[in-house]
Structure 1
């Protein structure tokens, strides 16, 4: 029984190792998992796994990979194995020599400011030799290499990973709901929403370059993106609408037409200059559909968001029920307390309730191999409109 348990643990560690490689985790984190897989050192068995299931497999699959990352991993593996006097496989030396002398031009690769990471959400642990098949969901994402050069919208942020785990952990909360994300970045949250069966998904961002990258990521995950209102086909299970939505210039009349069930945001409380605009957008999207005692008048926006028909108000509500007030789930790392407190103050002034639900809505750990992701730094807030 003990041997079986050891074998299961070893298989699971190797699953984590491959997942780490596909996600392009930092090399030092990859080496930590490699040592863990080998019981403290990078054994020949672990080296063989790295060579066959990481390095060679991406070439066999025709996966677009980053040459610099591969070379760095090979160097680190060889150095780590040599440091503990383990035998290093000739195949590792050969692959490194190949990449070092390859005709592939590093300068051309550097011009490509985006890399494709494959994020594996491990929804089952896998306790046998077939554990590699327990990657329940693998999401390819084109991400930025130049996060410090103004390309932050195409980076993969911890709060986006947190929201993704949350959605997969509580699928019924988002299933059959109209979900609207502000500041969608690479589009990972939207991909998760469609995976759990959200009835309608709208992803928004204020940067056109980020929006273009987001659409590419939807295509990589076999989802169709739609931007033209005249071509909307929400009935399609694979359709996601992408919209350019700068918070500072978002039209109130446009925002009032959406009526989402759930609003989401990941790491969107970052710049005090944009906090007032964000609060305004949230206030409009979260304002409950108003009950009117009389028939709404044409052009009267105060009556535009009525929840009930005339029949409902007369007591016949068998066909129509009042729509529940929407909520927002915002995941954020509080990097600047002053900025976050500013957000809380403006939210209170706008009659928005901000409740910390981090402890009560804990997502499952679906990214155990991603050592660079510290979920303990992420806070989850439920935001709703306070009716007066």
Structure 2
């Protein structure tokens, strides 16, 4: 009797938990509102004629401690709460004071050029990053998290043994999502974040510190300036990477030659495992990069195994993972 009065079977409870989790992961990563599970929420509101589900969604999002510490942008929260109110009113549910109180906090607030995004790991931990709202700012694309970085992080989470106890060098770390996720979940002995744009490097240092990595003794973490055109062979030897990764670094044909030269130097000196993940926006640019790899004596192998979906992001774009190896003589 108690179970039927709540209208929720054990299977229903599992589904409800999944829906709340989906709202939470989408909210903290500031996913597009159209991607949220509104239809499922609407069905629950129509069935129960109660705002209890709305309150639970609020507790997982705007009222969650993570939102107090690392809040998404004012504009995003306002749009999210406005949509919650619209769905509540359409279902004829009783007003919810907590919902309107949360909206009052963000109405009239001025948005900034920066905001926090948090990406929830399977462990329940969050990778929280300060990112720019605009995709391109300060002359760089490195102040936001791109799909290939999220895909590479998912790939790494599925293959933790590739990184466990090893020294990892990441090229073009950007905002730092992939590296923080690997440091949190894959147990490398050392992790070197790298980039070259001064604003990106500062943001990267801030995000690494934000996630408490500098206080840890394992892994040992450093953030380094690494200009692909000037990377000293001595420095590469000092790093001694066992694994080298990069995400969304093949977008500009002008820098492809420098990247290939750097990868060739890395592969020739210590023979690490090298993985490059790319969103293929321009097939000509990406094809040109692969051709330059071949001309430099580097073979590539496309990795086609699926990854477990952890983070919410658009999966309509073509993303390719390749592993690089020096061609045998």
Task: Provide the residue aligned with 1:299 in structure 2.
Answer: none
Deviation at 1:86, TM superposition (A): 4.6
Task: Provide the residue aligned with 1:26 in structure 2.
Answer: 32
Task: Provide the residue aligned with 2:51 in structure 1.
Answer: 44
Task: Provide the residue aligned with 1:363 in structure 2.
Answer: 307
Deviation at 1:250, TM superposition (A): 2.3
Distance in 2, Cα, partners of 1:205 & 1:138? 23
Task: Provide the residue aligned with 2:107 in structure 1.
Answer: 100
Q: Is the 8 A contact 1:35 1:41 kept in 2?
A: no
Distance in 1, Cα, partners of 2:148 & 2:54? 33
Residue aligned with 1:116, SS:
strand
Task: Provide the residue aligned with 2:115 in structure 1.
Answer: 115
Deviation at 1:27, TM superposition (A): 2.4
Distance 1:58 1:194, change over 3 A: closer
Q: Does 1:384 align with 2:328?
A: no
How do 1:1-388 residues align onto structure 2 when only pairs under 5 Å count? Answer: 3-29=9-35, 32-39=36-43, 44-58=51-65, 61-100=68-107, 105-106=109-110, 109-110=111-112, 113-122=113-122, 135=124, 137-149=125-137, 150-195=139-184, 196-224=186-214, 236-289=217-270, 325-357=271-303, 359-360=304-305, 362-367=306-311, 370=312, 372-374=313-315, 377-388=318-329
Distance in 2, Cα, partners of 1:122 & 1:356? 26
Q: Give RMSD over aligned pairs.
A: 2.5
Task: Provide the residue aligned with 1:132 in structure 2.
Answer: none
Deviation at 1:19, TM superposition (A): 2.1
Deviations 1:334-383 (A, max 9, x none): 111111111111101111111101x23x322222xx1x331763211011
Distance 1:59 1:200, change over 3 A: closer
Task: Provide the residue aligned with 1:313 in structure 2.
Answer: none
5+ residue gaps in structure 1?
124-134, 226-234, 290-324
Distance 1:243 1:365, change over 3 A: same
Distance in 1, Cα, partners of 2:154 & 2:251? 22
Deviation at 1:193, TM superposition (A): 2.7
Distance 1:41 1:343, change over 3 A: farther
Deviation at 1:8, TM superposition (A): 0.8
Deviation at 1:41, TM superposition (A): 5.4
Larger radius of gyration between Structure 1 and Structure 2: 1
Residue aligned with 1:223, SS:
coil
Distance in 2, Cα, partners of 1:261 & 1:60? 37
Q: Is the 8 A contact 1:24 1:117 kept in 2?
A: yes
TM-score, length-scaled by structure 2: 0.87
Residue aligned with 2:57, SS:
helix
Distance 1:90 1:244, change over 3 A: same
Deviation at 1:50, TM superposition (A): 2.8
TM-score, length-scaled by structure 1: 0.75
